[in-house]
């Protein structure tokens, strides 16, 4: 890895950490939250930074391949984000990001990604 690539990864991680700290707020679990894929599309810019890059490998806290989540079931995505938010899953970047999401945000993001498939272009931000 070049020094520039390392610096970019370090900057990205620092930015994500800062954003997660700025937006972290506690929320109470809501029953029957309905996701909106259109609203979800406007909330996935942080997600797409890693999850929309085929074969992307992150190096914090250790080197691993980031999974593509397009086409994953909405209930699984909500469950995973909730586990990160509660600290049941341990990845520090995902814990910070999930901690900043409301139940509605999680539902919207989950429905957005569950509607994707292999032919869907990554996050068509407008």
Q: Using one digit for the tens of pLDDT, what is the confidence trace for 63-84?
A: 888 998 999 999 999 999 999 9
% of the chain with per-residue pLDDT over 70: 68
Task: Determine the pLDDT at residue 61.
Answer: 78
Task: Determine the pLDDT at residue 77.
Answer: 97
Is residue 72 in a domain?
A: yes
Judge residue 58's burial from the number of C-beta atoms within 10 Å of its C-beta, 0-12 exposed, 13-18 middle, 19 or more buried: middle
Is residue 65 in a domain?
A: yes
Find the CATH number of the domain harbouring 98: 1.10.760.10
Is residue 31 in a domain?
A: no
Is residue 121 in a domain?
A: no
Average pLDDT of the residues of the chain? 81
Who wins on pLDDT, 59 or 4? 59
Is residue 122 in a domain?
A: no
Is residue 79 in a domain?
A: yes
Is residue 57 in a domain?
A: yes
Per-residue pLDDT, averaged over 35-39, amounts to 97
Half-sphere exposure of 76 (CA within 13 A, CB side): 7
Split into its structural domains, the chain has a count of 1
For residue 110, the tally of other CB atoms under 10 A from its CB is: 25
Is residue 1 in a domain?
A: no
């Amino acid at each position: 890895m070049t020094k520039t690539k390392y610096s970019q990864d370090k900057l990205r991680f620092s930015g994500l950490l800062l954003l997660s700290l700025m937006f972290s707020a506690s929320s109470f679990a809501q029953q029957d939250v309905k996701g909106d894929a259109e609203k979800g599309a406007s909330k996935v810019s942080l997600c797409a930074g890693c999850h929309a890059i085929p074969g992307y490998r992150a190096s914090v806290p250790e080197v691993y391949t980031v999974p593509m989540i397009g086409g994953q079931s909405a209930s699984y995505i909500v469950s995973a984000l909730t586990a990160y938010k509660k600290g049941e899953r341990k990845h520090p970047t995902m814990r910070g990001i999930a901690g900043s999401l409301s139940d509605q945000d999680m539902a919207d993001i989950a429905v957005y990604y569950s509607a994707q498939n292999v032919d869907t272009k990554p996050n068509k931000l407008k």
